Structure 1
Amino acid sequence: MGTQLKIGVLVSGSGTNLQSIIDRCEDGSIPAAISCVISNNEQAFALERARSHGIPAICLRHTEFSGRAAYDAELVRVLQAHGVELVVLAGFMRIITPGFIEAFPNAIMNIHPALLPAFPGLHAQRQALDYGVKVTGCTVHFVDAGTDTGPIIMQATVPVEQEDTEETLSARIRMEEHRIFPEAIRLFAERRLKIEGRKVNRLL
């Protein structure tokens, strides 16, 4: 096996997607290793998940910086210091700046709980319920300067049940997130993703 891809994960909350990625790295199904986990929230359980697996867990509070650009510059510095080649946004509740994106061109992935381009931004599950769609899902995409507008890598569909609440729908979407996010990272690690315009093609 060649050199393992080094991943940096940014997360603000409990880190269930982080856990699915850790598990797949540890069982060898993703040829990658998580070099660091960074959160802007010192209470994030994701940091505890990282520590329990021996992964460097770092809290960078955005409130301690003069603005978004200064905060993102420090994020980039820490990620680069850990040799990170792919940045994974696993529930990171901040919009990242163009400077951050330029530091990791075509190497930042995000998961969104809707079938983009439908329902971008916050509360995607609530948006889907309010709109009355019959099918929603989740999307793994590369990050660009827009909000949830980058090239789509992978999607999974989830039917909307008549009795669904935001919580029940979110739970079923999350199960699909835990399946496709590690898969997208695996394809990246195996150098099997090629961006051509807005399309991400999978190489055999």
Structure 2
Amino acid sequence: MSKIKAAIFASGTGSNFEAIMETEHLACDIALLVCDQSSAGVIAKADKYGIPAFVFDAKQFPDKTAYEKAIIDRLEESEVSWIFLAGYMRIAGPTLLNRYEGRIVNIHPSLLPAFPGMDAIGQAYRAGVKTTGVTVHFIDEGIDTGPIIAQEEVAILQDDTEESLTKRVHKVEHQLYPKVINQLLQTK
């Protein structure tokens, strides 16, 4: 039996991409990287693992519908049935959401619903809360509002800097995301 094929969408360095790729016995084959930043570090990581990358510039399309249709064409060519967002800095629109309904998952560096959107770790650090964490959730049309799949807390220590907190949050992300991917796909 062939494995489920998935795509990872990322816009940055690709640390979660790499954590997923390094997972032993991953319940899917990563068939494609989708990236909206031509200079993103994740592209070199995809190349290292032999994963084809679809890199696009949203400005080259008339609107979100057009670039999402181009993405869907590439996903379908690669027979992708699940999408895992890993630092993808665009909000998915209805074209993508409707085509992959219930099969687009995101990881976010806070305990949602607290600190949605950009700079969640910095928001939590500056707010002076005692804990933050990581959330894996399905996406919907909102910003970090979809149904929560799993969460893991990360304590904010008295001597933490934003940088030390970020490192600890990323470590949890790199362990939690592959585990949740496997749990989701093994029940499908």
Shorter chain as denominator, the TM-score bin is over 0.9
Q: How far did 1:168 drift? A: 1.6
CA distance, structure 1, for counterparts of residue 155 and residue 139 of structure 2 = 26
CA distance, structure 2, for counterparts of residue 170 and residue 64 of structure 1 = 34
CA distance, structure 2, for counterparts of residue 186 and residue 77 of structure 1 = 26
- Stretches of structure 1 lacking an aligned partner (at least 5 in a row): 193-204
CA distance, structure 2, for counterparts of residue 4 and residue 188 of structure 1 = 13
Name the amino acid aligned to 2:44: E
CA distance, structure 1, for counterparts of residue 114 and residue 11 of structure 2 = 23
CA distance, structure 2, for counterparts of residue 74 and residue 191 of structure 1 = 30
Given the alignment of the two structures, is residue 92 of structure 1 paired with residue 88 of structure 2, yes or no? Answer: yes
TM-score, normalized by length of structure 1? 0.89
Local SS of the residue matching 2:133? strand
Match of 2:6 in 1: 7
1:70-108: CA deviations, max 9, x gaps? Answer: 111211121111111110111001111012100101000
Name the amino acid aligned to 2:167: A
1:169-189: CA deviations, max 9, x gaps? Answer: 111100000011001110122
Q: Is the 8 A contact 1:38 1:47 kept in 2?
A: no
Match of 1:195 in 2: none
Alignment size in residue pairs: 188
Q: Is the 8 A contact 2:54 2:74 kept in 1?
A: no
Given the alignment of the two structures, is residue 182 of structure 1 paired with residue 178 of structure 2, yes or no? Answer: yes
- Aligned-residue Cα RMSD (Å) equals 1.1
Name the amino acid aligned to 2:144: D
Given the alignment of the two structures, is residue 164 of structure 1 paired with residue 160 of structure 2, yes or no? Answer: yes
Which of 67, 72, 94 in structure 1 is aligned with 2:68? 72
TM-score, normalized by length of structure 2? 0.96
Given the alignment of the two structures, is residue 41 of structure 1 paired with residue 37 of structure 2, yes or no? Answer: yes
Q: How far did 1:165 drift? A: 2.4
Which of 119, 126, 129 in structure 1 is aligned with 2:125? 129
Q: How far did 1:47 drift? A: 1.0
Q: Is the 8 A contact 1:47 1:58 kept in 2?
A: no
Q: How far did 1:3 drift? A: 2.3
Q: How far did 1:191 drift? A: 1.7
Q: Is the 8 A contact 2:5 2:82 kept in 1?
A: yes
| Sequence identity percentage | 37
Match of 2:150 in 1: 154
